[in-house]
Structures are given as structure tokens and as C-alpha cells.
Amino acid sequence: MNFQHTEDRRMLADTLNRFISEQYGFATRDQIARSQHGFSAELWARFAELGIIGALFDEASGGFGGAGFDISVVFESLGRGLVVEPFLDTLIVGRAIARSGGAAHKATLGELIDGSRIVAFAHAEPDSHYELARVTTRAQRGVNDSGWTLTGAKAVVQHGEHASLFLVCARTSGDDDAEAGISLFAVPRDAAGVGVRGYRKIDGGRAAEVTFDSVALGEDALLGAAHAGFATLEYAVSGGVLALCAEALGAMDVAKDYTLDYLRTRKQFGVPIGSFQALQHRMADLLLDIEQARSAVINAAAALDGERIARERAVSAAKYSIGRIGTRVAEECIQLHGGIGMTWELPLAHYAKRLVMIDHQLGDEDHHLERFVALGALGAR
């Protein structure tokens, strides 16, 4: 396998890295992350103008990328800048619409790519514990089998306060844990019965708790066939898991660079502490771990467009590796910095927080290790 990126992807990464370094410095990012909005609408539009959102989708959807390596290139750069704009939910919702959306939904893809519409992925529930098939929010047929009525609650909906459209996973039949019986709905934010309570996240940006109180939806709100949304859900989320892994990889690289620089400049007993053999060994182990994480991301990117079992095992393997290694990188880099590593003013502390929180998005390392094993057993049948 050729692990070298194409010229187009290298140019995309160079453009994005340059834009982030020049326009999205840490002070700017910190101000945006702590704002009431949780992201910058102006910078979101600038990202769209640069074609960064379009790189996440294929030509049939109106983009110019969409492959696993396109997603990983973009999100690795975003991770280096701790970018808080709604790229992840745009990717997940866009992949679901591209796969299963009807004519009524296709126009939404164009609005996602040009940055004119903010969307949010509303799947997690208070007791779902990362399980994709664990859905208790219910959608029932309306009067005379016309339309749907949606009732339930969703937790930790990224950028939920400012999204104009939610992609909601709801159960239309079957048991609460069954893959069969899940349907996907595009729900407008301003629909009667939709409630949103926003809050600030510990790693920057904002999220929301979203409730649906007998929300009336038309037939065109349904994506794909009723009761058969799990395959689309899994497909869309696999892209999101890869994106998170690539984002973590970018954050690890920056945390590593900060730590190496600190070891070279911080002096003790008149010499740089990086000259101490014990610290050199710890740093060498960390560099090996990061390269292992990079290999896992490459493998997941290569498998993203492949057969289902291979794809899902690859992204779960990557998420497991990222969860384990990302937490270790965060801990080691802070310890090697000493007490200063915990201060709010030091960017490293924010990278460490983000690495720890990525482990808890779309399934932590324990969940994905268990899932990797279960998928292996399923594929061996």
C-alpha cells in the first residue's frame, strides 16, 4: 500500500495548516471556544470558501473528496488547531443524507458544503452508553398513517443550540436494543415541540440537551426506508469515528512538539532537562505510541470505503488505539511539563483535555475493543 498522500491532499493539508496557523491561533481559538456561540460563524464561512467542507464529500454529493484519506487529512489539521467549528456533525449528517436522503434532502448537502446551514447529529441518549442500536426515542405513525410523531430526548448534541436541522435516530419498531426498527429523521430546529438546553463543554465549544415533545413530522422528514436506518447510521458514524481519530493524531503531534520544546529549554542543575536519560526514555516511548496511533488511523482511512465488517473493525481498532494512546500522551506531556502543564494559560492543557474527551466521543476504548472482538466473531461465521 502506498502511504503517501496525493498531491491534491498535500495541497489541501498545506492550505488548511497555513490558514489555521495564521487565522486561528490559540488566543483566537480560546476566545471562540469560550464564547456564547461556541464557534465562529465568520470562520466557518471562511473554511467553506477554502473548500475544506467540500473535501469531506464526494463529487456525487457536490464535494471533491469524501474518501477516508480526505477525511483524515482534514481532521488531522483541525486537531492541530483544536478547531471547534461543527465539522464532525457536518460530516456525519452529510454522509447519512448522501447515502439515504431523498430528493427533499439533497439540497441540504449543498447548504452543508457552502457553510450556509449548521446541522447536528442527535443520537446519544442518557442511558445508551455508546451503543448505536440503543435507541429509546420513539417515532410513531401519525393519524391515517400520514407523517410521524416524534417523542424522546437526546444528550450531548454538539452545537445543538445553533443548528437549524437535527439528524435524529428514533425507534419506529422493535426492542430498544435491536438494530432493526431504527429510522432516521431530519428534524427542523424550529418545529413545534423541539426543546434545546445548551451548555459549555469542558474541552471548548458548546453542546445541548435536546427534547422532542410529540413533534409532528411529514413524510419527507424520513431518510431512507422506515425501520431500516441502522446501516446508514453505522456508515455515517464510521466516518465520524475516523475523523475523531485523525483529529486526535493532530493534537498528539502538537502536544509532542510542545513537550520536546520544553525539554530542550527548561533547565535544571544548569542543563536542559531533556538531557536526562530517564526523560529521554519516556519521550521515546511516547513517540513510538504516536506512530502506532498514526498507523491505526491510516488503516482505518484505507478501509473506510470497503466491506462493512472490515470497515467497522478498522475504525474500532483505530478508536481503541487512539483512546488508549491519546490519554497516555495527555498524561505524559503534562507530567513532563510539571505543574505548569495544568495551567489554563498554557495551550498544552487544552490539547490534553481534548485528547481525553475524544476518547468519550462515539465510544470509548473499552467499547471499541469489545466491538472489535464481536465483529471479528461475526465475520468468522
Domain boundaries, the chain: 7-113, 119-228, 231-379
**Per the structure block, which three cell numbers stand in for 202?**
469542558
User: 153 near 209, Cβ under 8 Å?
Assistant: yes
Q: What is the assigned CATH class of domain 231-379?
A: mainly alpha
Q: Which residues pair with 154 in a beta bridge?
A: 210
User: 167 near 92, Cβ under 8 Å?
Assistant: yes
pLDDT tens per residue, range 40-90:
999 999 999 999 999 999 999 999 999 999 999 999 999 999 999 999 999
CATH architecture of 119-228: Beta Barrel (2.40)
**Per-residue confidence (pLDDT) for residue 143, from 0 to 100:** 72
**Per-residue confidence (pLDDT) for residue 89, from 0 to 100:** 97
Which CATH number does 7-113 carry?
1.10.540.10
Query: Low-confidence residues of the chain, pLDDT below 50?
Result: none
**Per-residue confidence (pLDDT) for residue 26, from 0 to 100:** 93
Distance between CA 49 and CA 93 in Å, rounded? Answer: 20
**Per-residue confidence (pLDDT) for residue 304, from 0 to 100:** 96
**Per the structure block, which three cell numbers stand in for 84?**
471547534
Question: C-alpha distances in angstroms, 126 versus 137, 211, 314?
Answer: 11, 12, 27
Enclosing H/E stretch for 96:
helix 87-100
**Per-residue confidence (pLDDT) for residue 92, from 0 to 100:** 98
By 3-state DSSP, what share of the chain in percent is helix, strand and coil, each rounded to 5?
Answer: 55, 15, 30
- Angle, CA 34 vertex, CA 33 and CA 35 arms, to 5°: 95
Question: C-alpha distances in angstroms, 13 versus 27, 63, 163, 239, 378?
Answer: 22, 16, 27, 18, 37
**Per-residue confidence (pLDDT) for residue 1, from 0 to 100:** 56
**Per the structure block, which three cell numbers stand in for 163?**
443548528
